[in-house]
Amino acid sequence: MASVSVSSHFNKSVRQHYMSLPQGGKCQVTYIWIDGTGQGLRNKTRTLDTEPKTLADIPEWNFDGSSTYQSEGSNSDMYLIPVRMFRDPFTLDPNKLVLCEVLKYNRLPAETNHRMSCNKVMEQVKEHQIWFGIEQEYVLLGVDGHPFGWPQSGFPAPQGPYYCGVGADKAIGRDIVECHYKACLYAGIEIFGTNAEVMPTQWEFQVGPCEGIEMADQLWVARFLLDRVCEDFGVVVTLDPKPMKGNWNGSGAHTNVSTKQMREEGGLHYIEKAIERLAQRHMEHIMVYDARGGQDNIRRLTGKHETANINEFTSAVANRGASVRIPRQVGQEKKGYFEDRRPAANCDPYLVTRAIASTCLLDEEQQIKET
């Protein structure tokens, strides 16, 4: 059994005594941001005199970017700009969580702040009412880096019984999953559902459908909530696209996409047209579909374990081995959505949704060059 953190053994009833104390009319606001790795999340909390009703009630703040891989020590102050507010499921009402953009000293976006460019594209395609739903897969680890619940020596039984499984030998970590689900609902996340995945101790939750920029905002906060819930249980979440070598599934962030035209009668025509555009820019998308410019997906997109080969673009109805899948029901009803199965679990959803919206809906001269 993988090890859990020391703090998870603290007496939670002692903590609850303090958490139930009145706050004297004050409000705690936790600021959340993406750090310089493009994958890690940071947070810090401040007191406001009253409960904020809108983002305008939450002041800008700052932090030491030299400690988050985002600046030099000689010029380290970075700005936190609130962009979306949620209820706090850990310290409860009236306290808030606020997702922030990060700006540098010159008020330009930090290198890992892709929200501004994503929002620009979403505003350009607003008339299409583009919806996204992202299926976030992840794996639970002990603090020693060993998969949670796996034998310390050797491996669990092969894949087969774990997907949507029931039982102590199949569904490893369900308490964490259910607590995260409740935390998302309390916070106001548009969580659609959750299930055990193919590899033991691998799980998935889905967020959406959300329109435009809201998709990435919601997923980043849902990831934060998962990290915090796992912190309480003393385990670690990994979004590594292929955390275990060998005959084990990797982890993706399958992205479902639908526009107003795709959802209407005859929408399959627009789905097929969008897929044709995606095929033409396959490698450009691969470059932004994981956290390391395609280098992580090389380990995952092998053509095995329900993936397509990273070097080829394929599409098909009801085929989970394709780059892009058209669900069987969509093929029958001739309208609905498509699923891009290429994004890795550790992708930045701002980059993914920006790339898809840009490629599918903008003319070449309007498109922002992906980097």
Please report the pLDDT score of residue 366 as a whole number: 66
User: Is beta strand 131-141 parallel, antiparallel or unpaired with respect to 253-258?
Assistant: antiparallel
pTM of the model: 0.96
Please report the pLDDT score of residue 370 as a whole number: 44
The SS3 of residue 217 is helix
- Going by C-alpha positions, the residue among 80, 79, 30, 23 that lies closest to residue 50 is 23
Q: Which residue ranges make up each domain of the chain?
A: 6-113, 121-241+251-366
Buried b (16+ CB within 10 A) or exposed e, 262-274: beeeebbebbeeb
What CATH architecture is 6-113?
Roll (3.10)
- Going by C-alpha positions, the residue among 176, 164, 171, 290 that lies closest to residue 225 is 176
Which residues are registered as beta bridge partners of 237?
A: 140
Tens of pLDDT, residue by residue over 101-155, are 999 999 999 999 999 999 999 999 999 999 999 999 999 999 999 999 999 888 9
128 and 259 Cβ atoms separated by less than 8 Å: yes
Taking the C-alpha atoms of residue 194 and residue 259, their distance in angstroms, rounded to an integer, is: 24
DSSP 101-153: EEE-TTSSBPTT--HHHHHHHHHHTGGG--EEEEEEEEEEE-TTSSBTTS-SS
Q: What is the mean pLDDT of each run of 10 residues along the chain (371 residues)?
A: 83 92 97 97 98 98 95 85 98 97 95 97 98 98 94 91 96 97 98 97 97 98 98 97 94 98 97 97 97 94 94 92 95 96 98 98 68 41
100 and 221 Cβ atoms separated by less than 8 Å: no
235 and 144 Cβ atoms separated by less than 8 Å: no
Taking the C-alpha atoms of residue 270 and residue 40, their distance in angstroms, rounded to an integer, is: 36
DSSP 284-339: HHHHHSSTTTTTTHHHH-BS-SS--BTT---EEET-TTSSEEE-HHHHHHT-S-EE
Q: Which CATH number fits domain 121-241+251-366: 3.30.590.10, 3.40.50.2300, 3.90.1720.10, 3.30.379.10?
A: 3.30.590.10
Residue 362, C-beta contacts closer than 8 angstroms, at least 6 positions apart: 121, 124, 125
Tens of pLDDT, residue by residue over 32-85, are 999 999 999 999 999 999 999 999 999 999 999 999 999 887 778 999 999 999
Please report the pLDDT score of residue 74 as a whole number: 72
